[in-house]
Amino acid sequence: MAAAPKTIPRHIAIIMDGNGRWAANHGLPRIKGHEKGADAVRACVEACGELKVEYLTLYAFSAENWQRPKTEVFALMRLLEKFLKEKTAELLEKNVRLQAIGRLTDLPLNCQRQLHESIERTAGNDGLTLVLALSYGARLEIIDAIQSLLREIEAGHIDKAMINPDLFSKHLYTRYYPDPDLLIRTSGELRLSNFLLWQLSYTEIYVTPKLWPEFGKEDLRAAVADFAQRQRRYGVV
């Protein structure tokens, strides 16, 4: 195993792209690509734990994904429920705390129940925090934050003159987590796909041509090593 880079990102976010293409390349149904992608999730969680990364946010299911064929959406929801049922004990063993962001009430009730159970069971862990973005869209998140602020203004809890970036951030789904330091996107695509648009303002971006099911521990370590070579200026010289 290669030595850990000296500079480790506190928070890594990943757009897990390429499951469908991996399945097509292997002559398999799309859901097989998603199943194989679950193995990559496990590998990255383990790698982040070994590197002492504090937060890992995975773009697991976007708000736009509901528009996919009903059979694929149904299979994805079953896969999510199965993943949570089977992996919660492993998360406990590895001291991983599970969290989730997005419009979670859009998920099927059985998925919601299993998700809440897994979150509660791992709540006492103090190692890596694994955040699943489910039924998530950054534009929806920003709209929800605006509506939350408006409710507080109408209730007299805050004045509109108080609104600034820091206060706005406290109304986002991610208010309990630091902004990502590193964004990884697999499959070579060069777009954000409506993911964490506010939070990624100063995030370093790493794109790999590897499809998500092919992405392993050493690939994550390579991304972190690349990050360690960057100079983050945040707009200043």
pLDDT (tens digit per residue) in 180-223: 999 999 999 999 999 999 999 999 999 999 999 999 999 999 99
| Residue 5 placed within a domain | no
Mean pLDDT of 88-106: 98
| Residue 4 placed within a domain | no
224 has a pLDDT exceeding 90: yes
Rounded CA gap, 223 and 207, in Å?
Answer: 9
Quickly list DSSP for 3-16.
PPPSS--SEEEEE-
How large is the greatest C-alpha to C-alpha distance in the chain, in angstroms?
59
Which strands sit side by side in the sheet containing 204-207, from one edge to the other? 97-101, 129-136, 55-62, 11-15, 182-185, 204-207
Contacts of 224 (CB under 8 A, 6+ apart): 4, 5, 8, 9, 12, 51, 53, 182
Q: How far is CA 24 from the centre of its chain?
A: 24
The whole-number pLDDT of residue 3 equals: 55
Mean pLDDT of 112-123: 98
235 has a pLDDT exceeding 90: no
φ and ψ at residue 167, rounded to 5 degrees: -65, -40
Mean pLDDT of 168-187: 98
| Residue 218 placed within a domain | yes
| Residue 233 placed within a domain | no
CATH number of the domain where residue 164 is located: 3.40.1180.10
Active-site annotation holder among 65, 125, 194, 226: 65
Rounded CA gap, 49 and 68, in Å?
Answer: 33
- Coil, strand or helix: which one is 124? coil
φ and ψ at residue 185, rounded to 5 degrees: -125, 125
| Residue 224 placed within a domain | yes
The whole-number pLDDT of residue 1 equals: 55
13 has a pLDDT exceeding 80: yes
Q: Is 164 a catalytic residue?
A: no
Rounded CA gap, 97 and 199, in Å?
Answer: 21
The whole-number pLDDT of residue 233 equals: 80
How many structural domains is the chain composed of?
Answer: 1
State pTM to two decimals. 0.95
Mean pLDDT of 73-90: 96
150 has a pLDDT exceeding 70: yes
Taking the alpha carbons at both ends of the chain, their separation in whole angstroms is: 36
2 has a pLDDT exceeding 70: no
| Residue 220 placed within a domain | yes
Give the chain's mean pLDDT.
96
| Domain extent for 87 | 11-228
| Residue 203 placed within a domain | yes
The whole-number pLDDT of residue 129 equals: 98
Residue 133 structure tokens: 């973005």
Active-site annotation holder among 17, 179, 181, 219: 17
The whole-number pLDDT of residue 4 equals: 65
The whole-number pLDDT of residue 6 equals: 73
Dihedral angle of Cα 22, 84, 218, 7, to the nearest 10 degrees:
130
Q: Is 17 a catalytic residue?
A: yes
Mean pLDDT of 94-113: 98
| Residue 235 placed within a domain | no
Mean pLDDT of 6-29: 96
Query: For 158, left (φ over 0), alpha (ψ -120 to 50), or beta?
Result: beta
